């Protein structure tokens, strides 16, 4: 029998195993958020946009794309106009870390010097870690108990199709064709995204994350993925 080497899925940003860009917890992302949160307190949106361009566009464009994908769900492989990422990050940073504080002009200097930096660091770090912990616990708890009335199928691809690469439209990561799971509506996603969308769907009958069609079948192309998906069905 031909030995098939199992692919190890790695985050395309930090290259570690077990997650993708949308769930990446690389310290660079947190440091970027802290830096942006501090910068926006003393800059206009236009000045902040220029600062992003001068500081990150040339030196760390991948960081901008990953942060935009993680926070605003903007695809990072199919958009060539870099301004889209910078615009989205600017809006997110100002709405999240400046406008909600509504600081009065006469008190802004004192507030920034004495409270803002510490508050931002504590709030961002605490919220980031707490949400990640809560989501992981919630996902594990639901996955242990939730089963679906879905038919899990196994279909073999042609040799040509096995070599094709596609991008999952949920997590935006690229995978080989055999690693996708196809639903009865013909939309297909990577295995992990299908599992997460099913588990997190609170409707009586789970639906496709893309078109909202009721999921009745899911077709895998690799035995190990088929076996994994079969654990979710009744």
For residues 95 and 155, membership in a common domain is answered with no
**Predicted local confidence at residue 112, as pLDDT:** 46
For residues 42 and 92, membership in a common domain is answered with yes
Domains: count for the chain: 2
pLDDT in tens, 30-47: 889 989 988 888 899 999
pTM of the predicted model over 0.95: no
For residues 25 and 125, membership in a common domain is answered with yes
**Cα–Cα distance between 234 and 218 in angstroms, integer?**
13
**Predicted local confidence at residue 131, as pLDDT:** 56
Q: Identify the domain boundary among 127, 144, 161.
A: 144
For residues 184 and 223, membership in a common domain is answered with yes
For residues 151 and 140, membership in a common domain is answered with no
pLDDT < 50 positions in the chain: 1-4, 101-108, 110-116, 118-119, 121
Has residue 194 been placed in a domain? yes
Q: Which position has the token pair 């809006």?
A: 91
pLDDT in tens, 82-126: 899 999 999 999 888 877 644 444 444 544 444 445 445 455 555
For residues 123 and 187, membership in a common domain is answered with no
Q: Identify the domain boundary among 144, 177, 195.
A: 144
For residues 47 and 122, membership in a common domain is answered with yes
For residues 35 and 138, membership in a common domain is answered with yes
Has residue 26 been placed in a domain? yes
**Cα–Cα distance between 56 and 74 in angstroms, integer?**
17
CB-CB contact of 171 with 21 (8 Å): yes
Domain limits at 157? Answer: 146-230
Q: Identify the domain boundary among 144, 167, 192.
A: 144
**Predicted local confidence at residue 32, as pLDDT:** 92
For residues 34 and 100, membership in a common domain is answered with yes
**Cα–Cα distance between 134 and 63 in angstroms, integer?**
25
Has residue 14 been placed in a domain? no
DSSP string, 92-145: HHHHHHTTTT---GGGHHHHIIIIIHHHHHHHHHHHHHHHHHHHHHHHHHHHHH
């Amino acid at each position: 029998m031909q030995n098939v080497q199992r692919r190890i899925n790695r985050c395309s940003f930090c290259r570690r195993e077990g997650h993708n860009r949308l769930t990446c917890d690389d310290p660079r992302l947190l440091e970027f958020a802290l830096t942006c949160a501090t910068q926006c307190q003393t800059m206009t949106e236009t000045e902040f946009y220029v600062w992003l361009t001068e500081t990150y566009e040339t030196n760390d464009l991948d960081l901008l794309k990953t942060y935009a994908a993680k926070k605003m769900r903007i695809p990072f492989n199919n958009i060539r106009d870099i301004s889209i990422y910078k615009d989205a990050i600017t809006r997110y940073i100002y709405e999240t870390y400046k406008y909600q504080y509504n600081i009065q002009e006469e008190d802004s200097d004192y507030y920034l010097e004495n409270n803002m930096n510490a508050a931002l660091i504590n709030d961002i770090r605490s919220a980031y870690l707490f949400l990640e912990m809560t989501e992981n616990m919630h996902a594990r708890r639901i996955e242990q108990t939730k089963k679906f009335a879905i038919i899990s199928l196994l279909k073999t691809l042609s040799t040509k199709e096995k070599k094709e690469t596609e991008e999952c439209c949920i997590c935006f990561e690229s995978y080989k064709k055999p690693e996708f799971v196809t639903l009865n509506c013909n939309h297909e996603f990577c295995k992990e995204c299908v599992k997460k969308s099913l588990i997190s769907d609170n409707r009586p009958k789970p639906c496709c994350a893309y078109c909202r069609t009721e999921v009745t079948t899911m077709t895998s192309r690799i035995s190990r993925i088929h076996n994994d998906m079969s654990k979710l069905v009744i």
